[in-house]
Structure 1
Amino acid sequence: MRRRLALHGLVGLGLVSRLGQAHGEAARLLEALREGGAVLMLRHARTEPGVGDPPGFRMGQCATQRNLSEIGRAQARRIGQTLAAQGLEPRAVRCSGWCRCIDTAELAFGRHEVWPALHSFFAKRAALRDPQTAALRHALAQLPARGFEAWVTHQVNITALTGAWVDMGEAVVLRGGPDGGTMLGRLSLAA
């Protein structure tokens, strides 16, 4: 009976196929978050068209940045709703200082803490990539065993840490550990 209720919940969230079979990967990754000692590393939700930031970008001034589109705002809300429907709430929500990441965190989780290790290094790859990735690995090595954290960031950070490419609004689930963490898989929560 409990399994049927869990599957019913996954159907409503788009995590179960039309055939009624659970997507094993999604269920496994949600369970990893539930078990704790994990991170949901989320790429910010869908933005207005473009790559990087426009000329004149300034941190803290959203009008100078590429921001979430209306589709992205709805996507971020669905991410939060999906996790809440599964009884999953991150113990901490850290994000890049870019407005698109802050807005994603606020719409999905209702809170955020800016963490420079999650800032984009798209335009300054050589100078910032290695120290930021090392800071993320260090945080994964120190991750508490209870609960999970949500880290809202940019594609470059996710790829530098895991080698994976995720679309806007998609995530990777990482298990913390003394080795600097392990990627458990990719997860789409806004289907």
Structure 2
Amino acid sequence: MHRTFVLFLALWLAPAWLQAAETDAWAALREGRALLILRHATAPGVGDPPNFRVDDCSTQRNLDEQGRREAQRWGVLLRSQWVERPRLYSSRWCRALDTAREMGLGAVEPLPLLDSLFAEREHRVERTLELRRAINGLPRGEPLVLITHQVNITTLTGMYPRSGEGLILALPLEADVRVLARIPPP
């Protein structure tokens, strides 16, 4: 009987606990104690075409209409959480830059350390360490939003985000990155 009651109580309280944890994560993001790392919005396909060139969007996978709407909803969600003018960094890939721009939150700064690691297996660990050092070297106190790719997020956190999904990560980034919240595509 006691076990059943404890299990019932845990299941009943879990949504409130999860909501409180997410509320705390948003506060940490607003205060610059955390960052949001977002997988670019929906761009059909996997990897990059053989003729891929970073300076030519016509050679890349790009956002479809669903992806553009997802990115715009991210902008709405961030503003609803009082994250209105974050420092916004993006991979140089068009689908990531377009995700950041469609959010409508201000200037986007391309950051090569956020470029896709899909075709660079041998450099994943090294580049992820460089990214952690670069992020930890940024001044704190302002919201920070990063737009990148699944493989980069998985290498950094061990988690596999779907298109348009975000993670709020505690700062500074440690070797074992602390995920404060997992935010589904809005």
TM-score (norm 1): 0.80
**Greater CA deviation, 108-117 or 170-179?**
170-179
1:92 maps onto 2:87 in alignment? yes
Q: Tell me the CA shift for residue 175 of structure 1.
A: 1.5
The structure number with the bigger radius of gyration is 2
Match of 1:139 in 2: 134
Equivalent position amino acid for 1:24 in 2: A
Q: How does 1:141-160 map to 2 (within 5 A)?
A: 141-160=136-155
Return closer, same or farther for 1:90/1:133 CA change in 2, 3 Å cut-off. Answer: farther
Match of 2:22 in 1: 26
- Do 1:80 and 1:107's aligned partners in 2 also have CA atoms closer than 8 Å? yes
Q: How does 1:10-159 map to 2 (within 5 A)?
A: 23-48=19-44, 50-108=45-103, 109-126=105-122, 128-159=123-154
Report the Cα distance in structure 2 between the residues aligned to 1:121 and 1:130, rounded to whole angstroms: 10
Question: What is the number of equivalent residue pairs in this alignment?
Answer: 169
- Do 2:30 and 2:142's aligned partners in 1 also have CA atoms closer than 8 Å? yes
Secondary structure of 2:120's aligned partner: helix
Q: Tell me the CA shift for residue 189 of structure 1.
A: 4.9
Report the Cα distance in structure 1 between the residues aligned to 2:93 and 2:47, rounded to whole angstroms: 11
Identity %: 42
Match of 2:6 in 1: none
Report the Cα distance in structure 1 between the residues aligned to 2:68 and 2:21, rounded to whole angstroms: 26
**Greater CA deviation, 137-146 or 101-110?**
137-146
- Do 2:68 and 2:102's aligned partners in 1 also have CA atoms closer than 8 Å? yes
Report the Cα distance in structure 2 between the residues aligned to 1:114 and 1:179, rounded to whole angstroms: 23
- Do 2:163 and 2:185's aligned partners in 1 also have CA atoms closer than 8 Å? no
Secondary structure of 1:39's aligned partner: strand
Please list the CA deviations of residues 53-102 of structure 1 after superposition, one character each: whole Å capped at 9, or x if unmatched: 11211111111101001000000000001111221135311110100000
Structure 2, unpaired ranges of 5+:
1-14
Return closer, same or farther for 1:182/1:142 CA change in 2, 3 Å cut-off. Answer: farther
- Do 1:33 and 1:148's aligned partners in 2 also have CA atoms closer than 8 Å? yes
Report the Cα distance in structure 2 between the residues aligned to 1:125 and 1:103, rounded to whole angstroms: 25
Match of 2:166 in 1: 171
- Do 1:40 and 1:149's aligned partners in 2 also have CA atoms closer than 8 Å? yes
Please list the CA deviations of residues 17-42 of structure 1 after superposition, one character each: whole Å capped at 9, or x if unmatched: xxx97833432321221232221000
Report the Cα distance in structure 2 between the residues aligned to 1:32 and 1:188, rounded to whole angstroms: 18
- Do 1:143 and 1:176's aligned partners in 2 also have CA atoms closer than 8 Å? no
